[in-house]
Amino acid sequence: MKKLTNFLFACLAVMTAQAQVQKSQPINPSDAGTHYINPIVRADFPDPDVIRVGSTYYMVSTTMYHFPGATILKSEDLVNWEYCAQPLKALLDDDRYNLQNGQNAYAKGMWASSMKYHNGRFWLLVNGNDNRAWLLSAADPEGEWDVKRLSRNYYDPGMLFDGDKVYIACGYCNISMCELDAGFNFIQEKEIIVRERSGLEGCHVYKIGDYYYIYATYGGFPSGQAAFRSKSPFGPFEEKVLVEKNYGGKINTIHQGALFDDIEGKWWTVMQEDLGALGRFPNLLPVEWQDGWPIVAGGVRPPVSFVDKVPRPASSDKRIKCLPTSDDFSEQTLGMQWQWNHNPVEGAWSLRERQGWLRLKTVGVSQDLHQAQGMLTQRIFADPEHASTGTIRLDVKGLKEGDRAGICIFQDPYAQICVEKTPSNSPLKGENKDSLPLREGRGGSSYQLVWRQDKVRNAGRGFEAAEKTVSIKPKKGIVWLRAAIKYGDNKAYFFYSLDGKNWERLGGETQQSFNLTVFVGSRFGIFCYATKQQGGYADFDWFSTEP
């Protein structure tokens, strides 16, 4: 009977998770077959590059210090997307990427990349902004990828295969064109565009007709998009502004992306839009060609997101698909919605030691969550009407004294709610002489709930670290924890329950924004870390984004 009950609960969890994930997709149910509403994915998939291979589109995005990285999505209609691959397993094995000796790689790692299909293979040029570039290739994007570290860095690279030559446009403000041979060995470099103090970056390179095109952004806030063209890869290049930074009093933040055509020969662009703490969301916009120039969304005005209904691209696949967010941890591998905060630690987690549960084990000792190894994260999908929530069911019996396990919303600043194992016979934080701790019995284990907000590097003026605690007596070691943040409001707040039905709020609201000290959108994180000794663990039954 217990197994049947668990099975039925799992089915219900999957169904509700699917319903929530579908709700996260920006499709207008009334005309989903003819139109779409931007953003096409309401989550942090920044710096997109998109290619079409046959009738399938592939989109890669920046993943910074999260691994596995270089997330690739696939689609048949440019509106419904599925996970395809995360081919970048790591960049470097050092203290920064291992969160050791007080070091970290926040705001570093894998920046804007370039993806192409050439000679029957997928090619991915990854810019490691704090180390050399990496080249990944595969015949099947969902199979094994070959990895090669190149001899130098290419900032925000735009890659082009042209006969037996490879060209890479790269740089910040001043753009250079690099020529490489077919083995990606560097040959020469020439500065082709000079735009001092302009923020010009995010290059993508195409050869269309007689022209070489560089599709690039004037980044920062606000931002714009431009095209440059020449009949030689080394110039001279002429320029046309496609999207203005400011137009008619409106500030533009839709920029940096890719040009491509669909199966009917119509042209499109996918560019990111800066949308607050939750990150940069991809937008799909139509492109027309006039006098040899791509014209985005009808002209230089800033495109409109969340509002415009646009006729969707042609596709024979009419199915609505989902990017998963919820997880009951019943599989033998982690779903591709999950990424580790910095390098994962082999042997510090398991989906098999307790079937149907994710076990996170403590690694090292840290007083700060942002330096703790073993945090598993995923993007937060925006809902224009309701708060985005993440809920976990947690078994804390495996914790050792000083261990903390729970859920967070990670930015700079970040906030967390967690269970801490405390000494059995000592006062708990937050207790006073008029209250008694709720414990598992005389001489048994003691636990407290901890809400804490803290910073990674620079959380802005007026921010102060804070902590609140409450002692608890978990029945059979089980606790439910919930994190929530509302798109547009950007305030993180937290709840707990001891029975899964009745909820109490703990702590205050943590105001977040898109902070360049971490350079990614706010994320859900689940974690278990030690503040005193190694050897403890926590078991996560499920993670749900059900409201």
Tell me the DSSP string of 162-178.
ETTEEEEEE-SSEEEEE
Q: Check: CB of residue 27 under 8 Å from CB of residue 21.
A: no
The answer, yes or no, to whether residue 2 has pLDDT greater than 50, is: no
Contact 418, 449 (CB under 8 A): yes
Question: In this structure, is residue 317 part of a structural domain?
Answer: no
Please give the average per-residue pLDDT across 111-133, as a whole number: 94
The confidence score (pLDDT) of residue 308 equals 52
Query: Which pLDDT tens digit goes with each residue over 493-510?
Result: 999 999 999 999 999 999
In the structure, what pLDDT confidence band is assigned to residue 313 with cuts at 50, 70 and 90? confident
Which strands form 339-341's sheet, in the order they lie side by side?
A: 66-67, 339-341, 376-379, 523-529, 404-410, 414-422, 446-454, 466-472
Residue 400 has pLDDT above 80, yes or no: yes
Same domain for 361 and 449, yes or no, is: yes
Within 411-522, strands assigned E span 414-422, 446-454, 466-472, 478-485, 491-497, 504-511
Residue 309 pLDDT: 66
Whether 47 is covered by a domain: the verdict is yes
What digits encode the pLDDT tens for the residues 446-466?
Answer: 999 999 999 999 998 889 999
Whole-angstrom distance, CA of residue 528 vs CA of residue 419: 9
Measured distance CA(326)–CA(127) in Å, rounded? 31
Same domain, 422 and 295: no
Q: How many helices (H) and strands (E) does the chain have?
A: 2, 39
Residue 331 falls within a domain, yes or no? no
Same domain, 264 and 137: yes
Asked if 173 and 268 sit in the same domain, the reply is yes
CATH of the domain at 278: 2.115.10.20
Which tens digits make up the pLDDT trace of 369-386? 999 999 999 999 999 889
Q: How many domains does the chain have?
A: 2
Q: Residue 352 belongs to what domain range?
A: 339-544
Q: Do residues 100 and 227 both lie within one domain?
A: yes
Residue 21 lies in a domain: no
Q: Residue 367 pLDDT > 80, yes or no? A: yes
Q: What's the confidence (pLDDT) of residue 36? A: 84
Report the mean per-residue pLDDT for the chain: 89
Q: What is the per-residue pLDDT for 444?
A: 58
Top pLDDT among 27 and 335 is at 335
Do 383 and 510 belong together in one domain? Answer: yes
pLDDT per residue as tens digits for the range 243-265? 999 988 889 999 999 999 999 99
345, 305: one domain: no
Count Cβ atoms within 10 A of the Cβ of residue 466 and give its class: 0-12 exposed, 13-18 middle, 19 or more buried. middle
The amino acid present at 456, given as its one-letter code, is V
- 98 vs 139: CA distance, rounded Å: 31
Q: Using the 3D structure, point to which of 291, 311, 331 is the last residue of a domain.
A: 311
What pLDDT is attached to residue 27? 39
Tell me what the mean pLDDT of segment 399-416 comes to.
Answer: 98
CA distances from 104 to 98, 370, 410, 417, 429 (A): 7, 9, 15, 22, 30
Instruction: Identify which has the larger pLDDT, 95 or 301.
Output: 95
Asked whether residue 2 is assigned to any structural domain, the reply reads no
> If you average pLDDT over residues 213-225, what whole number do you get?
95
Position 45 in a domain: yes
Q: What is the pLDDT of residue 312?
A: 82
Which two structure tokens, joined as six digits, stand for 12? Answer: 């219900």
Q: Are residues 243 and 353 in the same domain?
A: no
Per-residue pLDDT band at 431 (split at 50, 70, 90): very low
Tens-digit pLDDT profile for residues 22-44: 333 333 333 456 788 889 999 99
Q: Same domain, yes or no, for 225 and 104?
A: yes
Would residue 221 count as lying in a domain?
A: yes
Q: What is the CATH number of the domain that holds 472?
A: 2.60.120.200
- Does residue 174 share a domain with residue 125? yes
Q: Which of 292, 311, 330 is where one domain is finished?
A: 311
Q: How confident is the model at residue 92 (pLDDT cuts 50, 70, 90)?
A: very high
**Higher local confidence (pLDDT), 68 or 24:** 68
The two three-digit tokens of residue 344, written as one number: 């994962």
- Say yes or no: 283 and 346 in one domain: no
Mean pLDDT to the nearest integer, 344-362: 97
The answer on pLDDT for 61 being more than 80 is yes
What pLDDT, on the 0 to 100 scale, is given for residue 475? 95
Residues 498 and 360 in one domain: yes
Residue 228 lies in a domain: yes
More confident residue, 247 or 106: 106
> Which of 311, 330, 361 is the last residue before a domain boundary?
311
Specify the pLDDT at position 25. Answer: 38
Q: What CA–CA distance (Å, rounded) separates 421 from 282?
A: 42
Give the pLDDT confidence score for residue 41 in this predicted structure: 94
Q: What percent of the chain has pLDDT over 70?
A: 89
